[in-house]
Amino acid sequence: MGREEACSKKQEAIEQFELDGQVTDVREYGNGHINDTFLLLLQREDGTEGKVILQRMNHDIFKKPVELMENIMNVTSYLRERIVEEGGDPDRETLNIYWTRDKKPYYQDSLGNCWRAYHFIEDATSYDTVEKPEDFYESAVAFGHFQKLLAEYPAAELHETIEGFHDTRARFARFKEVVAEDKCGRAKEVEEEIRFVLEHEETAEILGRMQAEGRLPLRVTHNDTKLNNIMLDNATGKAICVIDLDTVMPGLAVNDFGDSIRFGASTGAEDETDLSKISCDLSLFELYTKGFIEGCAGRLTRTEMEMLPMGAKVMTFECGMRFLTDYLEGDVYFKIHREKHNLDRCRTQFKLVKDMEEKWEQMNQIVKKYLG
């Protein structure tokens, strides 16, 4: 089913949600690459105007949309209660869903596509890149606060909507299988990269082993902790809301921290071909660490906090390994825009891992500084 056909049922979907006004206009919205997003303009009975976010969920990526929406509904309901307890504004500080006319958090159209609608958060903006360090710090506070608010949530009750998403040990095992198969005949040209992965087996093992031993607790994790999943208040510049909860699942808090560092503290683009431009910016690492620890407000364990640098290293290594795995399999998962694109991506991640290893003592000292 093509995107145009899939989106042809948006009017059918709109009519199924209990919106607080009449829809006067429908526009494509945002620049997301996974779901199809629309902005609905409303006219309310009292004459005021409103906005609604309507999304068609991508079934190719999210194969369990019903379970996904159950996760979002349960987590956002819990967040509202905690936000109210803290004296915050639950209408701006978490996502709020519209229910359908038959009291469901989603609507499945006549083609089988699932749609959902969110209240629009007014006077706030998300940014795709770190335009100023303060924004990166605010995202750290927000994701840390997300962990604080959900610290008592029974994470094991959430659905694992993407199985094994950050199971680095399983991804390492799969990598070895792909190398052995070498179905595209590409292993010979990437022997150095393959050797790098195999030499880092302990990196692939450590967090999963610590979780199995009970040293790292299961948490509610976001799993896509980029800056653009934070809404910043237009007036104050402060982070107010964590958005895009599609990948909320049981996981490890250090992985959420680590993915932020992998993406936000790198000095170069994810597919930069000049590896001399790639390093971990320690000033950004420190800024994010400070904000994240402040946001958590003591709700994570000492061990979790001490493992934050390892979270950064593991997530960067895992991402590079995934790019290399995909390259060896013939570029079947990640979209590529040029020949050897996944190989370029892999190399940037491995360069970042090497740089972290060179700065390992400094990274750990930064964490200790803010732990006190």
Domain CATH code at residue 298: 3.90.1200.10
Both 113 and 159 in one domain: the answer is no
Please state, in angstroms and rounded to a whole number, the distance separating the CA atoms of residues 174 and 321. Answer: 10
Reported as a pLDDT band with limits 50, 70 and 90, residue 29 is: confident
| pLDDT greater than 80 at residue 7 | no
Domain match, 262 and 324 both: yes
Over residues 95-103, mean pLDDT? 96
- Half-sphere exposure at residue 65, Cβ-oriented, CA atoms within 13 angstroms: 19
CA 181 – CA 196 distance, rounded (Å): 18
Domain annotation covers residue 176:
yes
What confidence score (pLDDT) does residue 9 get? 84
- Please report whether residue 224 resides in a domain: yes
The CA angle 286-291-294, to the nearest 5 degrees, is 125
- Mean pLDDT on 51-62: 87
Q: Is 253 left (phi over 0), alpha (psi -120 to 50) or beta?
A: alpha
User: What is the mean predicted confidence (pLDDT) over 201-209?
Assistant: 98
- Same domain as 179, residue 52: no
In a domain, 241, yes or no: yes
pLDDT mean across residues, the chain: 94
Rounded to an integer, the average pLDDT of 192-200 is 98
**pLDDT over threshold 80, residue 34:** no
| Residue 32: predicted pLDDT | 63
Burial tier of 231 (Cβ tally within 10 Å: 0-12, 13-18, 19+): buried
Where is the domain boundary, 122, 145, 160?
A: 122
Is position 199 within any domain? yes
pLDDT at 1 over 60: no
Determine the pLDDT at residue 5.
61
For position 224, what pLDDT does the model report?
92
Residue environment code for 354-370, b if the CB has 16+ CB neighbours within 10 A, otherwise e = bbbeebeeebeebbeee
User: Alpha-carbon distance 16 to 180, whole Å?
Assistant: 51
Examine residue 128 and state whether it is found in any structural domain, yes or no. no
User: Does 315 share its domain with 168?
Assistant: yes
On the question of pLDDT at 4 being above 80, the answer is no
Tell whether 72 and 215 lie within a shared domain: no
Q: Are residues 247 and 154 in the same domain?
A: yes
Higher pLDDT, 345 or 62: 345
Pick the closest to residue 227 from 183, 261, 191, 204 (CA basis). Answer: 261
Question: Per the domain annotation, does 262 fall within a domain?
Answer: yes
Distance between CA 150 and CA 219 in Å, rounded? 8
Please say if the pLDDT value at position 355 is more than 90. Answer: yes
Reply yes or no on whether the pLDDT at 61 is more than 90. Answer: no
Q: Residue 256, exposed/middle/buried by CB under 10 A (0-12, 13-18, 19+)?
A: buried
Please indicate, yes or no, whether residues 198 and 94 belong to a single structural domain of this protein: no
Token representation of residue 119: 């209240």
Same structural domain for residues 78 and 147? no
Please state, in angstroms and rounded to a whole number, the distance separating the CA atoms of residues 267 and 185: 33
Whether residue 171 sits in one domain with residue 23: no
In this predicted structure, the answer to whether residue 74 has a pLDDT above a threshold of 60 is: yes
Q: Kindly give the pairing relationship between strand 22-28 and strand 249-251.
A: unpaired
Report yes or no on 198 lying in a domain.
Answer: yes
Over 90: is that where the pLDDT of 257 sits?
Answer: yes
Please name the residue that has the structure tokens 């829809």. 23
65 pLDDT above the threshold of 90? no
pLDDT attached to residue 33 = 59
Give me the mean pLDDT over the 190-214 stretch: 98
Tell me if 245 sits within 8 A of 222, measured CB to CB. Answer: yes
Mean pLDDT of 72-79: 97
Q: What pLDDT, on a 0 to 100 scale, did the predictor assign at position 2?
A: 59
* Percent of the chain topping pLDDT 70: 97
Whether residue 97 is found in the same domain as residue 174: no
Question: Containing H/E element for 43?
Answer: strand 36-43
- Number of independent structural domains in the chain: 2
Q: Check which CATH number belongs to the domain holding 34 and give it.
A: 3.30.200.20
343 within domain boundaries = yes
Residue-number span of the structural domain to which 267 is assigned: 133-371
- C-alpha 244/C-alpha 72 separation (Å) is 9
Would you state the pLDDT for residue 6?
53
Helical H segments across 47-89, by residue range? 65-85
First-to-final CA distance of the chain: 55
Sequence-ordered list of residues with C-beta below 8 angstroms from that of 248, at least 6 positions apart, any chain: 71, 72, 75, 158, 220, 221, 222, 223
| Long-range contact set of residues 332-336: C-beta below 8 Å, sequence gap at least 24 | 335/33
Average confidence (pLDDT) over 294-320? 97
Of the residues 66, 94, 122, which one is the last residue of a structural domain? 122
Which of 122, 142, 159 finishes a domain? 122
Q: Residues 6 or more apart from 131 whose CB is under 8 A from it?
A: none
Q: Please tell me whether residues 150 and 23 are part of one structural domain.
A: no
Question: Residues 284-300: pLDDT tens digits?
Answer: 999 999 999 999 999 99
Residues 6+ apart with CB under 8 A from 242: 94, 142, 143, 146, 222, 229, 230, 231
Q: What pLDDT was estimated at residue 372?
A: 81
Binned at pLDDT 50, 70 and 90, residue 54 comes out as: very high
> Residue 229's pLDDT band (boundaries 50, 70, 90)?
very high
Query: pLDDT by residue (tens digit) across 159-186?
Result: 998 888 889 999 999 999 999 999 999 9
**Residue 184 and residue 38 share a domain:** no
